[in-house]
Amino acid sequence: MSPVIVTRELSRTFRTYRKPEGLLNSVRYFFKRDWQDKVALAPTSLEIGGGQIVGLVGANGAGKTTLLKLLCGLIHASAGDARVLGHDPAARSPELLRRISILLGQKAQLWWDLPAADSFDLLARIYDLDLAAAKRRVAELADLMQCTSLLETQLRRLSLGERMKMEIIGALLHKPAVLFLDEPTIGLDIVAQSTIRKFLATYVEQEKPTVILTSHYMDDISLLADRLLLISHGRIVYDGTVEGFTARTVTRQRVTLKLGEPAGSDHDLGGGQVLSRGAEIFSGDYPAAEVAKVLERVMQVARITDVKIEETDFEDVIRTFLEAETPRNPATAASPVVG
């Protein structure tokens, strides 16, 4: 099966300028500006197959949204080439636009003062859908997200989580073959996040669209994505599975030990670890491979009555990886790790 999304050395550079504060500098820089080029996306080559859910993760400003906007034609590339469903997204052809959809979590696509049902009716006409079939699809999607009662309420009267459900229905109304989701759960409470994750998992399983999903909530990625792309300074620094990424990363665990009685004196446990006099609890973060040694050292000098070992969150693993990437010079960054 041929890939649904292909990029070849796709890149985007924005031109901006720096200006010191002050009125005099404003006048001076009106005639002569200190222009600078900011690389939002370095040359990137990707192939994404049909039915895949790809999680795109990176810090703010890493280039995630830039890549999505290039793939759906909202902005043009500075260099390189992209094909989505065989089309050049920059051409914005009607044939392609009828088969893709983008949801920007921080921007609304529905009309603020209209009930969601009216917005869906208008979208159905824009996409030239059969109106009766479109209403049935809205009813099906609303039932899956348990928001049928909200369809006739003005969008501005809905909570953030309720509005996001309406936005997702609008994005899926025309049954897109490729779906770009940029922060679909941003700012939502844990219940709304869970509801949307379950809906997306069910929807993708049933309708098999190709999905690129960005999120700052790592549960979105770890629970939904088949493939993980990490982007840093506009470059893909990891391309593989979530499991492959965690296997390559040093897993740490937080160990909390409750002691039977306070420590009578300071004990050097080795490796810079000290059990302080009077301590009733000993805790720390350690590589998973060293946890057994830590337990053994503490048991030699104190009686342990309770042991608690917590796995590091996937979000922390991602953060550690990206923090390690931050000091690197983008111009000399290595090729992406593939797992």
Do residues 144 and 232 both lie within one domain? yes
Do residues 77 and 121 both lie within one domain? yes
Do residues 98 and 167 both lie within one domain? yes
For residue 338, being part of any structural domain is answered with: no
Is the separation of the CB atoms in 99 and 34 below 8 Å?
Answer: no
Q: Where are the beta strands (DSSP E) in 61-166?
A: 79-84, 100-104
Do residues 264 and 124 both lie within one domain? no
3-state secondary structure of 320: helix
Ramachandran class of 318: left when φ > 0, alpha when ψ lies in -120 to 50, beta otherwise: alpha
Do residues 198 and 303 both lie within one domain? no
pLDDT in tens, the chain (339 residues): 689 999 999 999 998 877 778 788 777 777 777 788 889 999 999 999 988 899 998 877 888 999 999 999 999 999 999 999 999 999 999 999 999 999 987 788 899 999 999 999 999 999 999 999 999 999 999 998 889 999 999 999 999 889 999 999 999 999 999 999 988 888 788 888 888 888 888 888 889 999 999 987 777 887 888 899 988 888 998 898 877 777 666 666 778 888 888 877 887 776 677 888 888 888 877 777 777 888 888 888 888 888 888 766 666 666 666 666 555 544 444 456 655
For residue 322, being part of any structural domain is answered with: no
For residue 70, being part of any structural domain is answered with: yes
Do residues 203 and 267 both lie within one domain? no
Quote the DSSP letter at residue 249.
S
Q: End-to-end CA distance of the chain: give it in Å, rounded.
A: 21
Is the separation of the CB atoms in 119 and 110 below 8 Å?
Answer: yes
Residues 133/194/107/159 CA torsion (nearest 10 deg): 90
List C-alpha distances in Å: 53 to 61, 102, 208, 240.
Answer: 22, 14, 9, 12
Do residues 242 and 256 both lie within one domain? no
For residue 323, being part of any structural domain is answered with: no
Supply the pTM of this predicted model: 0.75
Do residues 82 and 202 both lie within one domain? yes
Do residues 172 and 280 both lie within one domain? no
Looking up residue 59, the CATH number of its domain turns out to be 3.40.50.300
3-state secondary structure of 121: helix
- Listed residues 247, 275, 296: the one ending a domain: 247
Please state the domain count of the chain: 2
Q: Tell me which residue range forms the domain holding 141.
A: 5-247
Do residues 172 and 83 both lie within one domain? yes
Which residues are CB-neighbours of 335 under 8 A, at least 6 positions away? none
For residue 274, being part of any structural domain is answered with: yes
- Listed residues 207, 232, 247: the one ending a domain: 247
Give pLDDT, residue 139. 95
Do residues 224 and 85 both lie within one domain? yes
Residue-wise burial string across 119-136, b where 16 or more C-beta atoms lie within 10 A, e elsewhere: bbbebbeebebeeeebbe
For residue 181, being part of any structural domain is answered with: yes
Give pLDDT, residue 62. 83
Q: How is residue 222 written in tokens?
A: 């770890």
Is the separation of the CB atoms in 100 and 85 below 8 Å?
Answer: yes
Do residues 233 and 130 both lie within one domain? yes
